[in-house]
Amino acid sequence: MNQIYRILYLVLCTLYLAPCVAQDKANADAAFRSGHYQKAITHYNAALKQGQSAETYYNMGNAYFRMGDYPEAMIAYQRAARLSPANSDIKHNIEITANKTIDRLPVSSDVFFVEWYKAFVCLFSIDNWAVISIVAFALSLICFLLYLFVEQIGIRRISFYSSVVLTLTFLFSILFAWHQHKMLLAKDKGVVTAEMVTVKSSPTHKSSDAFVIHEGTSVNIKDSDIKGWYQIELSDGRQGWMPSSTVEEI
Is pLDDT at 17 greater than 50 in this prediction?
no
Domain of 58 in residue numbering reads as 2-100
Tally of CB atoms within 10 A around 121: 20
Domain boundary among 140, 158, 185: 185
Q: Tell me if 37 is assigned to some domain.
A: yes
Q: What is the rounded average pLDDT for all residues in the chain?
A: 89
Domains: count for the chain: 3
Residue 74's domain is classified under what CATH number? 1.25.40.10
Longest CA pairwise span in the chain (Å): 79
The DSSP symbol for 247 reads E
The answer on 129 and 96 residing in a single domain is: no
The answer on 74 and 17 residing in a single domain is: yes
The answer on 68 and 141 residing in a single domain is: no
Tell me the angle at which helices 153-185 and 112-121 cross, rounded to the nearest 10 degrees: 100
Q: How confident is the model at residue 2 (pLDDT cuts 50, 70, 90)?
A: low
Report field, pTM of the whole predicted structure over 0.85: no
The DSSP symbol for 208 reads P
Residues 6+ apart with CB under 8 A from 197: 212, 213, 214, 242, 243, 246
Label residues 88-101 b or e (16+ Cβ within 10 Å = b). Answer: eebbebbeebbeeb
The answer on 195 and 179 residing in a single domain is: no
The answer on 96 and 6 residing in a single domain is: yes
Q: What confidence tens digit (pLDDT) does each residue in 219-231 have?
A: 999 999 999 999 9
